[in-house]
Amino acid sequence: MIAAGLAAGALALTRQRLPRGRQWPRLAIVAGGVVAGFPLLTSYALTEVPASHGAVVIAMLPATTAVIVVLRTRERPGAAFWAFSFVGAVAAVAFAVLQGGSASGVQRADVLLVLAVLACASGYAEGGVISRELGSWQTISWALVLAAPATAALSTVSLIRAPLSATPGQWLCFAYLAGVSMFLGFVAWYRGLAIGPMAQVSQVQLAQPVLSIAWAALLLGEQVTGWTVVGGLAVVGCAAGAGSSRARTS
């Protein structure tokens, strides 16, 4: 809801024109995927399984995004791209498992996580396409504004059930999540997708679990083993290989 307020202010100050016609349902796909679907589905899933378990399933997000991009657009990555993407997905899952996740057994939470990955990948793909028409920050801004009635209602219910209570440090974390993770980060992400090719750019996500572990070590003092470094380098290497591969002509 905070991010929606920032987005609405930016749209109003710069006097952006309203999206037209079919752009609204396409923005609804973006909002449904990255503003509502992914956060809510992963949040419910992680009430039943550890975050490390969730990382195993979410590691499939880059490959899923690439598949949906190919289905949605005319991009046709070459064999080298798919090879790097496959190896990268396997490496990312193995990395998450070695970091304490679990790949055994299928639980209800796993179904929610798979749906979250599909929702997020769809939002990324559609957002990348429409960013070429509306602009990167405009796309996420309109998606946030479109979802604002729902997020405001949920926030109101949450406030009634549990009044605000947090430490100054927690408020700073909340401000980062609202302003950067939910808004400014998407501006850069959709700009990158709009420049494209989207399938190749989407593989940058492979570096996300590696960066998460690195920041956890720097900020939280969590231990990083030698195998973590080796696994991280393998994942990042696959992301670089997929991103630099040439697309074949359709």
Per-residue confidence (pLDDT) for residue 62, from 0 to 100: 80
Distance in angstroms (rounded) separating the CA atoms of residues 207 and 213? 10
Q: Which two tokens stand for residue 96?
A: 């998450």
Per-residue confidence (pLDDT) for residue 228, from 0 to 100: 66
Query: Domain residue spans in the chain?
Result: 2-153+166-243
Distance in angstroms (rounded) separating the CA atoms of residues 40 and 46? 10
Per-residue confidence (pLDDT) for residue 203, from 0 to 100: 77
In the chain, the N- to C-terminal Cα span, in Å, equals: 42
Per-residue confidence (pLDDT) for residue 52, from 0 to 100: 63
Q: Which two tokens stand for residue 235?
A: 């994942």
Per-residue confidence (pLDDT) for residue 249, from 0 to 100: 41
Per-residue confidence (pLDDT) for residue 196, from 0 to 100: 75
Query: Which amino acid, residue 121?
Result: A
Per-residue confidence (pLDDT) for residue 250, from 0 to 100: 42
pTM of the model: 0.77
Residues of the chain with pLDDT under 50: 249-250
Distance in angstroms (rounded) separating the CA atoms of residues 8 and 155? 17
Per-residue confidence (pLDDT) for residue 65, from 0 to 100: 84
Q: Which helix (H) or strand (E) holds 160?
A: helix 136-161
For helices 61-72 and 108-134, what crossing angle results, to 10°? 50
Query: Which amino acid, residue 190?
Result: Y
Q: Which two tokens stand for residue 54?
A: 């969730």
Per-residue confidence (pLDDT) for residue 11, from 0 to 100: 94
